[in-house]
Structure 1
Amino acid sequence: MAKVELKGIGKIYDGGVHAVQNANITIEDKDFCVFVGPSGCGKSTTLRMIAGLEEISEGELLIDGELMNDVPPKDRNIAMVFQNYALYPHMTVYDNMAFGLKIRKMDKAEIRRRVDEAATSLGLTQYLDRKPKALSGGQRQRVAVGRAIVRNPKVFLFDEPLSNLDAKLRVTMRGEIAALHQRLQATMIYVTHDQIEAMTMGTKIVVMKDGHVQQIGEPLFLYNHPINKFVAGFIGSPPMNFLTVTIKKKGDAIIADEGTFELVPTAEQQVALKEYVGKDVYFGVRPEDLAYGDAPFAENNMQMKVSNKEPLGAETHLFLATKGQNIIARVQASAKESFKLGETVNFQPAMNRCKFFVKNPEDLDAELNICERIEAPWLVNALTGEVGYKKDEGFIADASANDNM
């Protein structure tokens, strides 16, 4: 397969609109790399530049070390699967899968071999004589994937391929695509706005926001070590909770004062928080890191009222309110038989898993993780060697982010 490198890639539209800025991403051979982020973050634009469907305004794109900026899409040896399947309605499944090979005037026997092999791997053999209108949404998506497979491309590109499917079928299809990656051992680049898809499918995740790469890493690394508040809140379901707290000195300790309760950070966290004494910061805690317990006088106890609840069978999501701030707690069904709306409850956060982020309303992208130094090589322009992003350009960090954790 192939190694894909984006070096300082940017996309500028008419009027000076920067859709993507300084993207530095290395996708190794056999990686399943997922671009994830909210609508308008630049993930699909980046994918289309890799495909050759969008002109690259800045930087270099390399596939296996070869510069691809001006290479036509048909000569890049890539295959793309779209959200809308892009099947020919008047053709059979077989003809849809074989069409690209026929255009290339490939031998008929080789076409038959490739289509039959792909159809077998995707469970489509019995549908080869049907037309798309006779297929379900999941089957149509398999045909689109099969059409890509028969080309034996260096790189597979997926542009939100599951968005048109219902929730149950999405779960099935994401498992099938992940299994396909394991079978083919192919380089795959996948775009989605769904962080659950990213976490469950990717070997590497690229989180984007407002045209900038925020963080790159393995799924669990991003979950456990987010570089900033945006990544922390985007990765994980339900998302991380954020409370505004004031950092204070109390005796020899550094504490985080929420107003209705006080939290004592770990020794390592206190060292990093010393320079924030007297300042407001964000305290981040994931719903699964809040432990329910009837212990109002326990250290780091958070006493709150139940404002809403979502029973899900094995667990319940509790919506808790304190001092005008709201958070979600994930509680196992065995913790308590039921919770009443308006009931006062006690939770203790696992402080060693909690995060603190800079609170800077003037520069939201600079809401960095205070207590961890995240290595951030994607902040280095791979062409110029320039390190870091400037605050007035809306970037997320400076050269110090390249320090090891």
Structure 2
Amino acid sequence: MTILKNHRNDSGPHHDHSPKLTMAQILDAVTTGEMPLRFEAYDGSRTGPDDAQFGLDLRTPRGASYLATAPGDLGMARAYVAGDLDLLGVHPGDPYPLLAAMGEVHFQMPAPKTAATIARSLGVELLKPPPPPPQESLPRWRRVAEGLRHTRTRDAEAIHHHYDVSNAFYERVLGPSMTYTCAAYPEPTSTLEEAQENKYRLVFDKLRLEPGDRLLDIGCGWGGMVRYAARRGVRVIGATLSAEQAQWAQEAIEREGLGHLAEVRHTDYRDVTETGFDAISSIGLTEHIGVRNYPSYFRFMEDRLRPGGLLLNHCITRPDNKRTSTGAFIDRYVFPDGELTGSGTIIAAIQDVGGLEVRHEENLREHYARTLAGWCVNLRDNWDACVAEVGEATARVWGLYMAGSRLGFERNVVQLHQVLAVKLGDKGDAGLPLRPWWQG
């Protein structure tokens, strides 16, 4: 649809007499090419193919204000979470198909005169940012202004924001394994539960754990790795900053009769004082600690391992090593203070710790896309119970976040790397087999 050329009034100044635009016309003005979605707005305007499978319904002027004052994913998230924007043709628990279609929408900067007409059409009131939904945390600059990121207090607050939502909610979304990290699918047809069990098997085997060994699992979540290893005779300490995770995990340990081998502590991993561990696993913690803290993070691991001990670091990464930000939506609604970088930065940080040697790394990017698809199915199938537990706005955040993340892993916006390293002996000996000893 062409904008403005049929509405010009050449007899006078454009800023005085050019007509106001509808919401649909504004969308057409800031996009180019074929529109793959249908769009409906509160002012009665429409654009896009009427027979499009997916679409957007802008229900209120406040929703338009969210979109206008925070262009991009943050504005859309605010409008959607607040209920001012609906996604058509998809379930809110799994909006992946619509988000994939939105990837084909091409935005453009309108010409100055068009931009001025858009601003006049919206009016002063719609160009004032409304208060964000209560699910949104402070912007990063405000958090920085109020104190340094990644202090112990700030890390605990960030973990509480994301993980202390509701154990009952997580049980419905994650499934029986209560595992909130990338699974490892042995076959394309494997179930989510089979893939999560296989992930723990993979970590266990890479760390060469045997009955009687000692494992430290930092950022242990609900204790999935802790319990997997304890069932196989390994003595395990898990550490998490989430009080709800620690309580759930410790209760699960007692239910399974593993209390003589395993414990999960509600503590900062840095407060674990024991040393001489045979292995350390870190599955999904690195994203939270901050890139500047990598040296102390890996030095902590080196200090807690015995010579010949292994560490496995499993975390979301970037496909490059140039940036660390997570984007406005993720930072404010999902992982406050989270930082992502490339696997090269992680490997370099390990190598820079004297006494640690990297032995293997692999990218499980496609596995995380499958994992997220499984979580979205669970959220969709348990939608009513999840909404009853945490409210529709929070449930919408999770559907949007998980479906969008799935798309990110599929399109190589983000990756998932496991890096395996060993603490060398005094003479540089690793004491490891010549070739990888685990089944992929």
More strand, by proportion? 1
Does TM, normalized by the shorter one, top 0.5? no
More helix, by proportion? 2
TM-score under structure 2 length normalisation: 0.26
TM-score under structure 1 length normalisation: 0.28
